[in-house]
Amino acid sequence: MKLLKLFKIAFKAVILNKLRTLLTMLGIIIGVASVIAMLAIGEGSKESIRASITSMGSNMISIQPGADVRGGVRRSRTEMQSLTLKDYEAIKEKASLLSYVTPSVDGGGQVINGSNNWPSTIYGVNPDYLSIRVWDLQSGSMFTDADVKSAGKVAVIGKTIVDNVFLEGIDPVGQMIRFNNIPFKVIGVLEEKGENTSGLDQDDVVIAPYTTVQKRILAIDYLREIIASAVSEDEAQNAVTEVSGILRVQHKLAENEDDDFHVRSMDELISTSSSTSEMLTILLVAVASISLLIGGIGIMNIMYVSVKERTKEIGLRMAVGGKGSDILMQFLIEAILISITGGLLGVILGLGSTVFIEKFLHWPTSVSLYSIVISFAVCAVTGIFFGWYPARKASALDPITALRYE
């Protein structure tokens, strides 16, 4: 009952100074809203990265030439020729943890259809490529192993190519295009994928048999990449180890020699991207948390002012039998009320901010329950921490001195 009465007294004191209370809350409101918004942006970016990488094929494994020199200087892929068709054949024959494997070569150039042209990239692969990338066809069909063996001049194109070189709305399937003056018959159109994690348009692509691209476009006999798909996500890391072992034997590398290739799975890429995003999120939240600290200091400042203004009131309460603990609780409840009310308003503002960011700025956001709980808990702790000292000072006042205070 005593606690309820103290709560009513504290609530009345807060209501009597509406503007001052609101201004005191402002730091808490902005701090909580900032923390929620920053965490939502961080979580949204992580989910967006994961979804984008997964759309490339969650089981996908990339084998590229050259040692893995992260953080150092790596030569251009065109300068590294340590992957060959024999490596691809060895992996295809010996790897037990892979479901699909394809060689890959690529080069840039102009896609031309009549008077329309568009700069793009051509990828030379085999028919397994679409299964590895989990990519379906919108229309037409994929080229076959027979087209690969005969180095057929057939191609499957992405939505961006269709939009830029078939402006009259003609069905591309069955039409002829030229890539760097080499004619290709369009036999299929890929479903739209959108941008990847690097912001590159995945639909701006021409896919053709790797033999055709090697011989007619690039004039090379080595591979720029081997792309594979593990039998399952759980086996992806084991598949990486297995492929590395096969290639070390294939390249006759001694135990003390470094790999002249590097193998990566999507799990590794997701982990790297997520950790980078997490670091940025922590930095943003740390900056946003400064507002909470400033809000706490504001509460302490106002509580000091309140103690000074109500010194006579405190003396009178203590003179008629009020205990120091009651005075302490009264002022502490006031500080917590200000803090928690500011926290509630901050949560509302934070949720509104995430909606605004996603709708108008088109940034991915994801509000998690823990961000709201943590922000609210911090508000309560802030109220107790910064309100305790002024409340303690009020409870320690001498009644006679307080009654004489002017």
DSSP-derived secondary structure letter, 201: B
The answer to whether 213 and 107 have CB atoms below 8 angstroms apart is yes
pLDDT number for residue 362: 81
* Tally of domains within the chain: 2
The reply to whether 379 and 320 lie within a common domain is: yes
Show Cβ contacts of residue 355 under 8 Å, excluding neighbours closer than 6 positions.
none
The reply to whether 75 and 216 lie within a common domain is: yes
pLDDT number for residue 38: 83
The reply to whether 76 and 197 lie within a common domain is: yes
Local structure of 107: helix, strand or coil: strand
Per the structure, the complete domain to which residue 361 belongs is given by 2-52+273-404
pLDDT number for residue 1: 43
Show Cβ contacts of residue 170 under 8 Å, excluding neighbours closer than 6 positions.
none
Which of 265, 296, 317 is a domain's end point? 265
Which of 209, 240, 265 is a domain's end point? 265
pLDDT number for residue 7: 73
pLDDT number for residue 191: 94
The reply to whether 44 and 167 lie within a common domain is: no
The reply to whether 296 and 190 lie within a common domain is: no
pLDDT number for residue 337: 84
pTM of the model: 0.62
- Point out which residues pair with 207 in neighbouring strands: 123, 156
The reply to whether 396 and 301 lie within a common domain is: yes
Site of tokens 């949560």: 347
Distances (CA, A) of 180 to 104, 206, 267: 19, 12, 36
pLDDT average per 10 residues of sequence, the chain (406 residues): 70 77 82 85 77 67 78 51 90 94 95 93 96 92 96 96 88 94 95 77 94 94 93 86 94 89 76 67 74 76 74 72 75 82 88 90 83 78 76 71 58
The reply to whether 322 and 362 lie within a common domain is: yes
Residue among 72, 54, 43 at smallest CA distance from 265: 54
Per-residue tokens: 324: 């120091």
Which of 218, 242, 265 is a domain's end point? 265
The reply to whether 353 and 252 lie within a common domain is: no
Residue among 370, 374, 390 at smallest CA distance from 296: 390
Local structure of 118: helix, strand or coil: strand
The reply to whether 40 and 84 lie within a common domain is: no
